[in-house]
Amino acid sequence: MSEYDPRLVAPTCLYLAAKAEESTVQARLLVFYIKKFYADEKYRYEIKDILEMEMKILEALNYYLVVFHPYRSLSQLLQDAGINDINMIQFSWGLVNDTCKMDLILIHPPHLIALACIYIASVHKDKDITAWFEELRVDMNVVKNISMEILDFYEGQRLITDDRVNTAFSKLALKP
């Protein structure tokens, strides 16, 4: 997909994702808002451009749009571990929610992401569940690496301060 203009690929991916999640956005509305927000000629794409790019993206994905989320795995694993602490359960769910902002679900199996979230929650809440992890016979190095990716995401988010966002917006407002 790198040979195509990202200003066309990105909105087409949004269009396709909305369709896949059964929250369809009409292509004409997408084009309308792109033109409304970006007067620049670089963003002058038409409906046919979006629809043609949609087919190219589908072909690149082999028409495979299924992405498995770690929610079901998390539920089952929390139950299997016998974790009843509501704070730890909520913390784990919050972590899984945040993984949707990352590309982890495209890279790692959902059960490993769920395990990484439980691992982070157990360390954060000082719950010793190492015996349970040992019973699973899962490669803890993989779980810890995924955990580090999650924590790195939070570290990156922490670096984005309101001042930096406001400065970026004010710079953008000055551009013609």
List, for residues 109-167, the tens digit of each pLDDT value: 999 999 999 999 999 999 999 999 999 989 999 999 999 999 999 888 877 777 777 77
CATH of the domain at 75: 1.10.472.10
Domain assignment present for residue 165? The answer is no
Q: What's the CA gap between 76 and 96, in Å, rounded? A: 14
Shared domain for 84 and 152, answered yes or no, is yes
The number of folded domains in the chain is 2
Structural domain of 94: 71-158
pLDDT at 21 over 60: yes
Which candidate, 91, 107, 111, places its Cα nearest to that of 154?
Answer: 91
pTM of the entire predicted model: 0.68
Decide if 154 is inside a domain: yes
